[in-house]
Structure 1
Amino acid sequence: MLNSILNKTKGDRWIWLIVILLSVWSLLAVYSATGTLAYKRGVGAESILMKHLIFIVGGIALMYFSHLLDYRYYAGISKLLMVITIPLLLYTLIFGNTINDASRWVTIPFTTQTFQTSDMAKLALITFLARTLTRKQENIKDVKKAFIPIMGSVCIVFILIALANLSTALMLFGVSILLLIMGRISIKQISIVCLAGLILLGGVVFLGPRRETYKSRIKVFLHPEQADPDKSFQANQSKIAIATGGIIGKGPGNSTQRNYLPHPYSDFVYALIIEEYGLMGGVALAIIYLVFLYRCILIVTASPKAFGALLAAGLSFSLTIQAFANMAVAVGLGPVTGVPLPLVSMGGTSMLFTSVAFGIILSVSRDIEEKKNNPEGTNNKEKIVVGEIPAMG
């Protein structure tokens, strides 16, 4: 059975290797970081590790099945995801579980597991934009047929996420703008989308329900010397972890700041990694994400179809920007946010949706491989999506 699975595993081998490396590193970091959490819960650290391992294995399984599905099917799935996502985001804002004044989670029925709806929203919007930009190319300058549906979807998802999770909303908005540029939307129309985004951003920051939190975090970041010690505690503990890590680190499992640093297994896992593996470990992890981005760029440029190129570009940009945003916060280059490190931070639904995103990218890569190996062959799956156009550039 294992040989059968391995024989069906296609796509970029470097990306598969990156997934394995990040998963192993995640197990090591989470096991080291969850001692205090386990003590507070009255359980052993091994039980938390096993739960995390289950999500990693489940994520890899989802990645495997996602990469087997022809990427063109995701064009149709994106419509269904958007229909589900927008009401779900609205439901989360009104009835979701509130943690630290942020309503980002809903409880999955009949379980105790929470679900962060913005994880689904990221996947839904990127796939929907890739589909819409591909199918509307002939009318891409048409305001009614192309621009309004595109602008509407971006702005609605942005505002619904931003009210509870501004950092995720800003990153998703940035990825959306990159896709609009790749999709040949005119500079004038992109400027209008950016202006609308700025207006919505101003409304969220100055009038939204979490306005005081956003203002406080920005103030702490810009003027740390004047900040209340309680409000700058996370950033300060992260800097201590990084400073004491040195060049080669204290060694796996030897972190001391894990006992003081809030969320060393999720939001600040990169600080713990630098403390235990040193500057060399931190740089190595950053290089892994850069290699992932480079391999994805090769997939984008090799994709014969616009939908595949836009899909791989949007998902890879989203994952890479998220990774470096998490790292930037840990090293003090940005205000504190709740952005996890893809495939490394502990997290349930975040791990699963990230794995699906990797799987979709691998699906595009698998399609390219198959066409290279059988350039003369006919493929009935080409008929799945009507209106495909050649990839840009």
Structure 2
Amino acid sequence: MKQLVNKLKGDRVIWSFVALLALFSFMPVFSASSNLAYIGHGTGNTLGYLVKHLAHICIGFAIIYFVHKVPYHYFKAISKGALYVVWVLLAYTLIKGTVIAGANASRWIQVPFIGITFQTSTLASMVLFIFVARYLSKTRAVPITFKSSILELWLPVFITLMFILPANFSTTALIFAMVLMLVFIGKYPLKYIAIVVGSGILFLTFFILIAKAFPDSRFFSRVGTWGNRIENFRTDKPDEDNYQIEKAKIAIASGKIYGLGPGKSVQKNFLPQSSSDFIFAIIVEEYGLIGGFGVLTLYLLLLFRFVIASHKANTLFGKLVVVGLGFPMIFQAMINMAVAVELLPVTGQTLPLISSGGSSIWMTCFALGIIISVTKKDEEIAQELMNAAKREEALQKLIDRELEEEEVVAENFSIEDKAINPMNAVLNK
């Protein structure tokens, strides 16, 4: 075990927080899967879901390990080509995508010969953030102009968002917000950012107007759901989303300070997405406010560590990659918690590293692997500088020792000369 830990490079604190979140996830996932175990005349045995989650976590940590071994600047080179692949996958998802749990949105594709579903928007967001970081970190002879950035930066961004928007507004909004944050940190001019935000609002308005004109189109089927969720959030009209929120609030209220205890949740039997979208409500019900604040604290500490990793990065691309891949993870967690306590409308965002689900865990782990690769490179550079300093110090000590030996030899010659000179004087007489 010690040898395995010694092989882990990069920021050990990030490794520790990720491991803590993953280890904690087993208890709420095992407990919250009971309703899934009874669906479709099941036996109610949740052991299979626990083993499945264990497999997802183990594969996720294997992804982190192998990705963090790859120098992070390699991803800079492949991000542009990967973006074209992502567009093809997103287009295929819109046309031939798989619907899960009765949702009226095609967000997943079936991976051939493996039998697992994969949400393409998670891969698209990661590739897009690396692409934006690549553009902002390029060395230029002249400053960035809005005209040049339209084709090189914003057109790829809006094409990606256009493919995601019809099936998943919340993910589109989150990605767009993170891109804006990334370009702001990358010192993209504020006046240009304002133009982009205005253009985004106009595009969204135009999209909704078209959807209203063609309400029966499968392509625009989710627009009505967006409006209903916002309306239900404002007025508390009874529907499926409102039902889930009410059960989540009952779960949180039942947990009080110390919780009902591990596995003793009642509302897990009534919440349709108790092991994914609303797992935070189950955590608070079973572990109380202490457990809820503990999970929140872990995410905030992870965010703080991302800030430190970004600050320590030796290249602008490294800094932007840590921000672009790390911050969305934390904001997604905050959105999930905010939905559970009805601070936001239902969005369908999972709790990273805790909610059940294969592709979401794996993509999160892929992003973490790249972040740790950035910190690993910084550690290697620091180690090289330390080794160079040690070599210089050893060389200086060797030079000092040789100088001391030369002084001793010179001193001995001087003593001999003093002894020989009187003798020569006597002989000469």
> What TM-score do you get using the length of structure 1 for normalisation?
0.92
Q: Deviations over 1:194-222 (max 9, x none)?
A: 11221232244452331110000000111
Alpha-carbon separation, structure 2, partners of 1:321 and 1:250:
28
Aligned to 1:22: 21
Aligned to 1:92: 93
2:183 matches 1:180: yes
Aligned to 1:278: 288
1:116 to partner: Cα distance:
0.5
2:120 matches 1:117: yes
2:249 matches 1:222: no
2:375 matches 1:371: no
1:80 to partner: Cα distance:
2.8
Which letter maps to 2:162? I
Where in structure 2 are the equivalents of 1:223-302 lying within 5 Å?
Answer: 223-224=235-236, 227-302=237-312
Moved more, 106-115 or 265-274: 106-115
Where in structure 2 are the equivalents of 1:75-154 lying within 5 Å?
Answer: 75-99=76-100, 100-135=103-138, 137-154=140-157
Moved more, 32-41 or 246-255: 32-41
2:344 matches 1:334: yes
Aligned to 2:160: 157
Out of 327, 349, 353, the residue aligned to residue 359 of structure 2 is 349
1:231 to partner: Cα distance:
4.4
Moved more, 166-175 or 128-137: 128-137
Aligned to 1:209: 221
- Over 3 Å counting, the alpha-carbon distance change for 1:55 and 1:230 in structure 2 is closer
Aligned to 2:418: none
Which letter maps to 1:28? M
Alpha-carbon separation, structure 2, partners of 1:200 and 1:24:
43
Alpha-carbon separation, structure 1, partners of 2:134 and 2:115:
35
1:122 to partner: Cα distance:
1.0
Where in structure 2 are the equivalents of 1:303-318 lying within 5 Å?
Answer: 303-318=313-328
- CA contact 2:110–2:118 (8 Å) conserved in 1: yes
| Secondary structure of the structure 2 residue equivalent to 1:115 | strand
Alpha-carbon separation, structure 2, partners of 1:352 and 1:231:
27
Alpha-carbon separation, structure 2, partners of 1:255 and 1:77:
46
Aligned to 1:384: none
Aligned to 1:58: 59
- CA contact 2:35–2:272 (8 Å) conserved in 1: no
Where in structure 2 are the equivalents of 1:183-202 lying within 5 Å?
Answer: 183-202=186-205
Q: Deviations over 1:95-130 (max 9, x none)?
A: 111341111011111232111000101111011111
Q: Structure 2: 5+ residue runs without aligned partners?
A: 212-219, 389-429
1:183 to partner: Cα distance:
1.6
Alpha-carbon separation, structure 1, partners of 2:327 and 2:319:
12
| Secondary structure of the structure 1 residue equivalent to 2:108 | strand
| Secondary structure of the structure 2 residue equivalent to 1:308 | helix
Alpha-carbon separation, structure 2, partners of 1:26 and 1:270:
10
1:143 to partner: Cα distance:
3.7
Alpha-carbon separation, structure 1, partners of 2:46 and 2:322:
37
1:230 to partner: Cα distance:
4.0
Moved more, 69-78 or 344-353: 69-78
Alpha-carbon separation, structure 2, partners of 1:199 and 1:342:
32
- CA contact 1:26–1:344 (8 Å) conserved in 2: yes
Moved more, 7-16 or 35-44: 35-44
Alpha-carbon separation, structure 2, partners of 1:157 and 1:377:
45
Q: Deviations over 1:117-158 (max 9, x none)?
A: 001011110111111111155444234543422111221111
- CA contact 2:336–2:350 (8 Å) conserved in 1: yes
> What TM-score do you get using the length of structure 2 for normalisation?
0.84
1:228 to partner: Cα distance:
2.2
Percent identical among aligned pairs is: 40
| Secondary structure of the structure 2 residue equivalent to 1:92 | helix
Q: Deviations over 1:231-262 (max 9, x none)?
A: 41011111111111101111110100000012
| Secondary structure of the structure 2 residue equivalent to 1:98 | coil
Alpha-carbon separation, structure 2, partners of 1:339 and 1:200:
23
Alpha-carbon separation, structure 2, partners of 1:82 and 1:355:
19
- CA contact 2:241–2:346 (8 Å) conserved in 1: no
Aligned length: 375
Aligned to 2:48: 47
1:161 to partner: Cα distance:
1.0
- Over 3 Å counting, the alpha-carbon distance change for 1:299 and 1:230 in structure 2 is closer
RMSD across aligned positions (CA): 1.6
Aligned to 2:397: none
Which letter maps to 2:125? K
Q: Deviations over 1:154-207 (max 9, x none)?
A: 211112111101111111111100111112211121112111221232244452
Alpha-carbon separation, structure 1, partners of 2:141 and 2:293:
44
- CA contact 1:139–1:146 (8 Å) conserved in 2: no
Moved more, 6-15 or 342-351: 6-15
Alpha-carbon separation, structure 2, partners of 1:137 and 1:167:
35
Aligned to 1:391: none
Give the greater-gyration-radius structure (CA): 2
